Amino acid sequence: MSRLRLAGLVLVLLFVVGIAALFAFGLRVNFGAAEPDYEALAAPASNYDVEIIRDKFGVPHIYGQRDADVVFGLAYAQAEDDWATMQEIVVAARGNLAQQRGADAAVTDYLVHLLRVWPTTNAGYPDLPQNIREIAEAYAHGTNLWASEHPDEVWDGVLPVTGEDVIAGFVFKTPFFYGLDGVFKELFEETRSKEISLGPDNAFLWTETPKYPIGSNAIAVAPSRSTDGHTRLLINSHQPFAGPVAWYEARLKSEEGLDIAGGVFPGAPVILHGHNRNLGWANTVNKPDLADVYVLDVNPDNPNQYRLDGEWRDMEASVATIKVKLFGPLEWHAQRDVKYSEHGPVLETEHGVYAVRYAGMGETRQLVQYHSLNRANNLEEWLDAMRLQALPSINYVYGDKDGNIAYIYNAQMPKRIDGWDWQKYLPGDRSELIWSEYHDFDALPQLINPPSGFVFNANNTPFEATDDADDLRPESFPVTMGIETQMTNRGYRGLELLRPDTQISAEEFKDYKFDKTYSKDSELAKLIEVWLAEDFSGEPDMEAAQKLLADFDMSADMNDRNAAVAVLAGEPVVWAQIQGTPMPDTIQSLRDTVAHLMEHWGRLDVPWGEVNRIRRGDIDLPLGGGPDLLRAVYARLPQDDGRLVAQGGDTMIYIADWAPDGSLKSESIHQFGSATLDETSPHYADQTPLYATEQFREIPWDREALEAEATRTYKPGQ
């Protein structure tokens, strides 16, 4: 045999061995799932009788005999408008997102296993009320029908979607609204970031949280506080403009009791916040201390054991396979340990082994509570729904046609023993620190019909929610609840507007919602003081910036020529607060802003609306507002042309207005339109001009009015 031929055989052998080794370590070929039976997927549609009427803005109004009929139609309508997001949510909740999105999604998939999303779902699903399971399955059937009609748009392995998929979406996502993801992110860091709580000698007092949420606004004004005796409710959640937690607007009407309009996220079968003919509610994010981290003492002779009450206990251990897309059909199958202690999921890191216990563990009743809220017709029924306590967090601001208003600081609040600093890491070897119950609903901070006649929240502390005399007091609640005490600019400013105004008109109500002024107590006001105190002698552009800052009236109106310097220079600080990252150099931030404006405009007094934009398709419009304003606009980093483009903040806004006779006027606006992804649709951006100019559209609640403006009427599956 020639040396050349021998060398070739050796290379081939090495290649084969190398490939075999790669397969041994985790390389796999994905040959694809079996082709779904599309006819079988579409067959359940015959069990539903639903009609979808799209109004002149393309918003679906969905009519059916049963709640399940309506939910089936909602899923179909959402799939028409936002299928890509819907299927991504299904895949993410299954722990298979990395198989589609690659390595960036591997941590998400691991968390699905670590949080026991599917053991929890499978254990709890059979115990859900039959009508709730029927609703979950109706949503799955509507999803499958649309997918069966558009197979080319469906990822491999997604179908069939099931009722369990719907519930798993709630199980996985709801804890992240109060920041559970931040707890895990903190533990994944290279070094331990908190001390271990040592007990009574350093138990904590009320402290401010370091992270400011992007936020939401909610206001309810009672007849006693309004000029005309009306009850008004502002529903104004601040969300990303697109993606899995972007609002989709719908109206649901059944003969079993659903008659409600508002917003849903992709994958949600009922309205998450909105209003029916009799009442409504708005949500804002709250940040109580709902998760605890325990430092485990692991047996040096057995990594699957930890010490508890002086004894070694076995962890529940399993192995999760994370399938990561590489390229083409190739995947990498990574094996990761999944461990569980009596406390909860366990994380093994370079700086220690930790267990996490959090509100919402094992909870599958989220849809039960949301459905009950949707069906409530008066304050008592609505409060009964809230008492289910299936939702681990989120503030609720309420109003109704009878003139009732309320603010509920909702949380599954752990019952913890006194004497420990629960915001630090806890020793994991003491069972008395493993809480197992929540405080009753009536023990939570709440204001129901306060004499002041209004309630308000903008992600600020619940202890600043109305007139001073009627506000709740921190000392009335256990320190172990860990209720936040921070104020946002929106919190300061909202109360500056509402408290002095003892008779609020309809016009003022809208003006307050779109207010663009930073409070004198805001972080931006403090920054401006720092910038004005700096000596920029000999730097003409910086001195010019100081002149604009000195003249700035704190308003981010689109025509304001002083706002660009202040808001742009302050934005990195706001984002650092939002993300919990280190504060930037504030002087350098001002210098960077001056350089940016001079580079792109050649001057500093650029009208704010020339910088701050909303873009959608061919539409490019100026916006007033900015970060942490009541007119909330959060933008991407400057584009190539130097402008900011809004990516979140004010999204779907509702105002529900009940007259003294109980009649309802409902107005809304969406930042884009009902066609979330279809750029060819007339409803891709038809609401954007109204949004940019702070106008509303009136919702047609009566069928006759709806049919008069309908753009399309159809029955899915027929």
Residue ranges of the binding site for Ca(2+): 289, 292, 471
Nearest to 139 by CA among 221, 58, 250: 250
User: CA–CA separation, 580 vs 212, rounded Å?
Assistant: 8
Q: What are 429-435's contacts with CB under 8 Å, separation 24+?
A: 429/296, 429/297, 429/306, 429/307, 429/308, 429/309, 429/310, 430/308, 430/309, 431/308, 431/309, 431/342, 433/292, 433/294, 434/294, 434/342, 434/343, 434/357, 435/292, 435/357
User: CA–CA separation, 250 vs 74, rounded Å?
Assistant: 8
Q: Is there a contact between 262 and 234 (Cβ–Cβ < 8 Å)?
A: no
User: CA–CA separation, 150 vs 144, rounded Å?
Assistant: 10
Handedness of CA 105, 106, 108, 113 (dihedral sign): positive
Looking at the DSSP assignment, which residues form a beta bridge with residue 615? 620
Catalytic site residue from 2, 148, 193, 216: 216
| DSSP string over 551-599 | H--SB--TT-SSHHHHHHHHHHHHHHHHHTPPPP-HHHHHHHHHHHHHH
User: CA–CA separation, 652 vs 62, rounded Å?
Assistant: 19
Q: Is there a contact between 67 and 75 (Cβ–Cβ < 8 Å)?
A: no
Beta-strand relationship, 446-448 and 619-622: unpaired
216 belongs to the catalytic site: yes
User: CA–CA separation, 122 vs 108, rounded Å?
Assistant: 20
User: CA–CA separation, 184 vs 169, rounded Å?
Assistant: 19
Q: Is there a contact between 632 and 691 (Cβ–Cβ < 8 Å)?
A: no
User: CA–CA separation, 77 vs 450, rounded Å?
Assistant: 40
Nearest to 467 by CA among 484, 455, 459: 455
3-state SS assignment for residue 61:
strand
CA distances from 341 to 110, 285, 348, 352, 357 (A): 17, 29, 12, 15, 10
User: CA–CA separation, 373 vs 273, rounded Å?
Assistant: 9
User: CA–CA separation, 633 vs 619, rounded Å?
Assistant: 17
Handedness of CA 12, 16, 22, 28 (dihedral sign): positive
> Angle between the 163-173 and 117-124 helix axes, to the nearest 10 degrees?
130
Q: What is the H or E stretch that residue 93 is in? A: helix 67-94
Structure tokens at 87: 């299927």
Looking at the DSSP assignment, which residues form a beta bridge with residue 626? 632
- Tell me which residues are annotated as active site: 216
